[in-house]
Structure 1
């Protein structure tokens, strides 16, 4: 069913890296979800009022919030597909994340309202009126939501969309909520206990948790979360496969929305190699990274001396000193500046992003350890924190 609908409605559906194709996937999923949710809202609210079931009504209002979410996703994809302009040269891709943020607020609002009504139903219970129509509506709703979850999950995976993956998870949460509502309706036949209100509270909590999860998933990329480890490893492995590149450091990856990533890093090259040859290979790597990973990349070349025996020896000794302080520390950009009375050891120390050690204290410890090797060694140390 998924493949058939996609093939019939999206030309060039396999070109998922193109912004216009991503927009068509998002539009298709949003429109189908709006139609399905609209049908469920009408029938759930109708039978919820007929049976006096606050759980069915809460489930219906949850579907109403889903419609708002689908509209936000639809507009998010439309705005994200806009061409870059002078005010937004990196494009408008983050509108998709903003749409997800709006979705999370709508879900939280509905969850709070449903929770309040459910608590009142426990305090002042009303007898439920069981009808086969309400039962059929809930069962059909479960199957519709399962289909929506599957459709959005497949589309979200194909175009790597946070919004569609969140919509899929939200549909699965709705299945759990509707199952709980179905149970309360059936139990109304055998007990006068306010099961409806209790299950309404449970439904509200499930919806609230869904809103919190979606909020986190959309805020993280807006704040600038760490890049995917598997992607970084693939990039490192690919770049280091070129013979001119001896090492990589100062790696940064900026996310301006799906399909709009920009990357910078320093590539170490042998200072004795021909600069034009090395530069040509760096250009090739930048073009290949764009084609292979769809990431626009800028690479800075760092020349290093691999032939000087003293440099290599001191680099290893400094590396041992630094890692003795913390195995997660490393150094790069190591070089010597020799003078008549002393030698400057110039290098950067890379710390994990969450390391809180005092930079001054760390520099002092490293300097003291190095001067124990030779008092004529002076350190010029730059402290960096990893962006990975």
Structure 2
């Protein structure tokens, strides 16, 4: 059914990489979700009051908060689709992450409110009034929420939308909550135990955990989450497949929202080759990366001397020294500057992002080992931390 609606309302619906198509998908999912939640709010609150079920009422209020989440998603897509301006030259794509963050806060708010009401029902229980109408409403609600979870998840994966994936998970949480409410209503026929309140507490805890998970998923890209390892490996293999590129380092990938990624790295090239030919290939790589991954890339060329035996020999020795300190350490940009009284060995040492070793102590340790090779060798070291 959803696919039919898509074909009727979204032209060029298969071009998910286009910002205007992504916005249409997000708008469609948000509007459909708002309509579905509005219907469920009315019927759940009505039957919740009729049956004196705090679980049904809490479920209805949860759907009301879902409408707020859907509105946040809708506005998130609208704002994210705005063109870059002088104040935001990288676009407004992160509004979509902010929408997901708002959804997580609303989920946490509803979970807290539901938990409080459920505790009161355990302390001061009220007898539930079983009606088949309420049962039908809850079953229909489960089916609607399953449909909402399905189209939000499929669309979220198709257009790579964090906020739609969060909306899908929220709908699945609602399915669990509504099913629990249905169980408590049925159990009221055979027991006077405050099952309604107990199940309400359990559901509130589940919803709260979901809110925490969604909060983490949406705040990570805002803080600057490390890029996907498989994507980085694929990019490395692709770039190194070009004959002029001898190595890659100082890799950085910035995320300014879905479809708005910017990448920079240094490409090592042979200093003895024609720089114009190398530059032409580097330009082609930048264009190909944009076409292949939809990532705007800037590549810095690092010419290296591959024929000087002393340079190559010392580089291997320094690499062994650094690896001996920590197997995940590496070096790059290695070069020599010879003088009448000493030779400077200039290079960068790359550390893992979470490494906390003292830079001063590390430099001293490397320098002491280099002095064992030749007392006339002095190290000029730059310490870098990986962004992967």
Smaller-chain TM-score range? Answer: over 0.9
Equivalent-residue separation in structure 1 for 2:2 and 2:344 (angstroms): 64
Give the structure 2 partner of residue 364 of structure 1. Answer: 364
SS of 1:84's equivalent?
coil
SS of 2:254's equivalent?
strand
1:222 aligns with 2:197: no
The Cα of 1:3 is off from its aligned counterpart by: 2.5
The Cα of 1:2 is off from its aligned counterpart by: 3.3
SS of 1:268's equivalent?
strand
Give the structure 1 partner of residue 170 of structure 2. Answer: 170
Give the structure 2 partner of residue 325 of structure 1. Answer: 325
Give the structure 2 partner of residue 210 of structure 1. Answer: 210
Equivalent-residue separation in structure 1 for 2:16 and 2:9 (angstroms): 14
The Cα of 1:269 is off from its aligned counterpart by: 0.4
Instruction: Map residues 145-224 of structure 1 onto 2, 5 A cutoff.
Output: 145-224=145-224
1:81 aligns with 2:81: yes
Instruction: Map residues 260-339 of structure 1 onto 2, 5 A cutoff.
Output: 260-339=260-339
Segments of structure 2 that go 5 or more residues without pairing to the other structure are none
1:135 aligns with 2:143: no
SS of 1:254's equivalent?
strand
1:264 and 1:298 in contact (8 A); partners too = yes
Equivalent-residue separation in structure 2 for 1:99 and 1:172 (angstroms): 19
- After TM superposition, the score normalised by the length of structure 1 is 0.99
Q: Deviations over 1:163-187 (max 9, x none)?
A: 1111111111111111111111111
Q: Deviations over 1:218-268 (max 9, x none)?
A: 110111000111111111111111100000000001111111111110000
Instruction: Map residues 376-387 of structure 1 onto 2, 5 A cutoff.
Output: 376-387=376-387
Q: Which moved more, 1:75-84 or 1:332-341?
A: 332-341
SS of 2:129's equivalent?
coil
The Cα of 1:329 is off from its aligned counterpart by: 0.5
Equivalent-residue separation in structure 1 for 2:38 and 2:301 (angstroms): 56
Give the structure 2 partner of residue 351 of structure 1. Answer: 351
Equivalent-residue separation in structure 1 for 2:361 and 2:52 (angstroms): 68
The Cα of 1:374 is off from its aligned counterpart by: 1.1
Q: Deviations over 1:93-133 (max 9, x none)?
A: 01101111111111111111111111111100000000001
Equivalent-residue separation in structure 2 for 1:265 and 1:69 (angstroms): 38
Q: Which moved more, 1:211-220 or 1:68-77?
A: 211-220
1:97 aligns with 2:97: yes
Instruction: Map residues 16-165 of structure 1 onto 2, 5 A cutoff.
Output: 16-165=16-165
Equivalent-residue separation in structure 2 for 1:201 and 1:48 (angstroms): 17
Task: State how many pairs are aligned.
Answer: 388
Equivalent-residue separation in structure 1 for 2:104 and 2:279 (angstroms): 47
The Cα of 1:370 is off from its aligned counterpart by: 1.0
Aligned structure 1 segments of 4 or more residues deviating by more than 4 angstroms: none
CA RMSD after TM alignment: 0.8
Equivalent-residue separation in structure 1 for 2:133 and 2:115 (angstroms): 25
The Cα of 1:140 is off from its aligned counterpart by: 1.0
Equivalent-residue separation in structure 2 for 1:136 and 1:5 (angstroms): 26
SS of 2:297's equivalent?
strand
